[in-house]
Structure 1
Amino acid sequence: MKFRDSEKLRYQRIKPILFSEAAQIQGNYRKIPRSFCLADEYASENLFTAIRKPAIQYFDQRNIPWHDGLNRSRLPSNHLCCSQSCCVNFLYPLVENRPLAEEIFRAFYPGLSELLPFDRDERLPNGAFPYIAFEWIGSLDFLGESKRKGNSRTRGANATSADFAFRFRRQDGREQLVLGEWKYTEEYGGSDLGIEARKKNYDRAFNNGPFGEQGPSLYDSLFFEPFYQLMRLQLLAQEMEGGDLGHEMDCDVVTVLHISPEANSEFRERVTSPHLKATYPSTGTLEIWKRLAPADKFLSISVERLLETIGQSTTGDLAWTDYLTTRYSW
């Protein structure tokens, strides 16, 4: 059984444990009642209770749409396999909790000395800047996407967005910005997305760095999801670090962090690009990307490992940890 299907079945079993009685009623997703969805008017319960109000407020104040969100995308999706809600459930509790965020991220970035406020984001209601930003597209149009699409950039839509982002000062004194990509039950087919307009959009950035040294055949092979997303986020990191528009947030280093379930073999093992599949036989998607990305610019960890790290933290909230363990232990 595919990971996505097994998760849908699991949610049917654990709905009574996690959600209110009213929320457990089948919700509509794409106009069809689904047992793995919350009742439409209770979509907000897709988020952990303690972060529900502040997270929705964070997105609303920044005009960030929720993916497949209800109430004109101002509320989370009611689909329980929603990747965005999963990401927010894991990371929003770190937005104001610097000690907890440092403890968790240091497990993956041992050179982390001090987490820094994300001061290009808007301030929180308490007047402070968050330590994690969601759907970050950059303070400038580093990839020139608005020129192609002919509209203003929106966080989380119509522009390459990091699902989450944070910055820290390293022990060597340099400042590092991390752009994050989060996956949950996603799986992808083999559609070639390489229309000419897209290729023209990212061609300059591709040839402006190490990727360009690998030739046009690599470029053409990356317009298959999820490689297309990985390429765009990696190019965004490249341009934020040292592109024509300068350094994002004055950071010295900009890297990509990818988080996805180890259990989602459909995402991790299926290689959708014919050229990459032939070039790297018997190699999964993320391992291929590790080989393609510039050295030390890409890190992949599993949701399972992140959950284990949170469970071992000394400053985490027990109710939040129990919620994550119940909901995301597949």
Structure 2
Amino acid sequence: MEKYNVKLMYRSQEKKRHIELIKDKFFGNDKGYGYFRKDEKRYNFVLEDGINNLYEPIRNEALKYFKGNDIEWWGGNPDYPTGHTVSSQIACLNHLMFLRQKPTEVMELINGLERVEFTKVFPVPCDADISYIAFEAISDKSYLNEPEHIRGSYCTSIDALIYAEDINNEKWIILIEWKYTEAYGDSSKDDKSLEDYEWCKGEHGKGRERMRRYNGLITKSQQLKSLENYESSAYYFEPFYQLMRQTLWAEQMVKNKATERIKADHYLHIHVIPKDSVDLLQKTYKFSNQNMEVTWRNMLNEQSKYIIIDPQELMSPIKSRYPELYNYLKTRYYDK
């Protein structure tokens, strides 16, 4: 039971904090107790109007951006932001949307990673307007054998993507995967290589299809380690399943740069996780007997391409330049 309680610790803490913020009118007159997805129950940490979930200066822009780029919102309504206050999609937008058309600040963020010296950022070609951070980005062509190719749903997409050039005039894609209160299981029911289709129980049809889709790409990958048997491996449990697909996506973007609008020579994979998220960072997975970071790093050949960073640390380069944004983030996400 102890491990189970630890698993829920950070998520519960953040829900309680957002309930207090609702009471303190941090979200204006929104009183909470909103609906989530198709559940008829009201939740005190869910806002009645999802627009109040966004930092006020980005609200209209975020709606316009998602509509203009045909991106589906996470949650019950694909056309409107969720009122779920601990949504990681909302957290990502609240941190980065305000900066998406500010190239100097975007470059400061990625140079703050202290991994590569960048000299320039470019507008990301997949967006309908000039944007130096693209959200829910996908490639021009599908390389992962996935049946759908829609931004924000049914395929491998990137929470936030930056396109930059380094001091050697080589181009990079910086993939940002944003986590907030996520927590994942490691039992057989969480194993995506064993998952069934609804209409065919016990044959692991969905899992076999996933392995047909990705196993060959993993074997050919330069970054991901090949295994004799992929079934029930780390690659098919979250969050590693997601990280695996994003790594393959990045490799294919570099490999196919001649035909992609984004012509990248290299990539960095940034995993934004609050340092206090014990639910995710400190969980010991049964199949590896290691925590999240060690488990994933054991699957990688080149460690420098993968970076875990706390959101407050990521945003520190713009702290003094945009105090109102930073104070909003601090009150909502960083203060304890």
User: What's the TM-score bracket when you normalise by the shorter of the two chains?
Assistant: 0.7 to 0.9
Q: Equivalent residues in 2 for 1:176-191 (5 A)? A: 176-190=172-186, 191=190
In structure 1, the partner of 2:271 is 258
Once the two structures are TM-superposed, the CA of residue 327 in structure 1 deviates from its matched residue by 0.4
Measured in 2, the distance between the counterparts of 1:303 and 1:244 equals 30
Structure 1 length normalisation: TM-score? 0.87
Q: Which runs of 5+ in 1 are unaligned?
A: 124-128, 147-151, 278-282
- Cα root mean square deviation, aligned: 2.0
Map residues 267-286 of structure 1 onto 2, 5 A cutoff: 267-272=280-285, 274-277=286-289, 283-286=290-293
1:219-234 matches, within 5 Å, as: 220-221=232-233, 222-234=235-247
Q: CA deviation at 1:212?
A: 6.4
In the TM superposition, residue 238 of structure 1 has moved relative to its aligned partner by 1.3
Question: Are the aligned partners of 1:142 and 1:239 in contact in 2 as well (CA < 8 Å)?
Answer: yes
Corresponding residue of 1:326? 331
1:163-174 correspondence runs (5 A)? 163-174=159-170
1:199 maps to 211
- Report the CA distance between 1:17 and its aligned residue: 4.1
Seen in structure 2, the aligned counterparts of structure 1 residues 322 and 303 have a Cα distance that, compared at 3 Å, is same
Secondary structure of the 1:66 match is: coil
How many residues are matched? 306
Equivalent-residue separation in structure 2 for 1:259 and 1:239 (angstroms): 22
Number of the residue aligned with 1:138: 139
**TM-score scaled by structure 2?**
0.85
Report the counterpart of residue 31 of structure 2 in structure 1. 24
Flag structure 2 segments of 5+ consecutive residues without an equivalent: 1-5, 194-206
What is the Cα deviation at residue 309 of structure 1? Answer: 3.7
Matched, 1:300 2:308: yes
User: For the structure 1 residues 257 and 212, does the alpha-carbon distance in structure 2 shift closer, same or farther, using more than 3 Å as the test?
Assistant: closer
Q: Structure 2: how far apart are the matches of 1:166 and 1:25? A: 34
Pick aligned residue for 1:55 from 46, 57, 62: 62
In structure 2, how many angstroms separate the alpha carbons of the residues matched to 1:288 and 1:25?
38
Q: Note if contact 1:143-1:201 (Cα within 8 Å) is conserved in structure 2.
A: yes
Moved over 4 A (4+): 243-248
What amino acid is aligned across from residue 211 of structure 2 in structure 1?
Answer: K
Q: Find the aligned partners of 1:219 and 1:244 in 2 and give their Cα distance.
A: 31
- Matching of residue 287 in structure 1 with residue 294 in structure 2: yes
How far apart in 2 are the matches of 1:288 and 1:197? Answer: 24
Matched, 1:36 2:45: yes
Match of 1:155 in 2: 151
Contact 1:142–1:245 at 8 Å: present in 2 too? no
Could you tell me which residue of structure 2 aligns to residue 78 of structure 1?
83
In structure 2, C-alpha distance between the alignment counterparts of 1:113 and 1:233, rounded to whole Å = 25
Matching residue's letter, 1:270:
K
Aligned to 2:201: none
Secondary structure, in 3 states, of the residue corresponding to 2:177? Answer: strand
Answer with 208-217 or 301-310: which moved more. Answer: 208-217
The alpha-carbon deviation at position 110 of structure 1 amounts to 4.3
Rounded Cα–Cα distance in structure 1 between residues aligned with 2:141 and 2:231: 24
Say if 1:234 and 1:293, in contact at 8 Å, map to a contact too: no
Q: Percent identity?
A: 26
| Equivalent residues of 2:225, 2:301 under 8 A apart | no
- The corresponding residue for 1:10 is 17
> Residue 167 of structure 1: CA displacement?
0.8
Aligned to 1:216: 228
The CA deviation string for residues 156-189 of structure 1, in whole angstroms up to 9 with x for no partner, is: 1000111110110001110001121100000011
SS at match of 1:276: coil
Single out whichever of 6-15 and 287-296 deviates more from structure 2.
287-296
**1:9 to 1:248, Cα distance in 2 relative to 1, 3 A:** same
Cα deviation for residue 193 of structure 1 reads: 0.6
Deviates more, 1:298-307 or 1:181-190: 298-307
Q: Is the 8 A contact 1:87 1:182 kept in 2?
A: yes
Match of 1:310 in 2: 318
- Letter of the 1:88 partner, please give it: L
* Residue type of the alignment partner of 1:78: G
What pairs up with 1:237-256 in 2 under 5 angstroms? 237-242=250-255, 249-256=262-269
Q: Does 1:104 align with 2:109?
A: yes
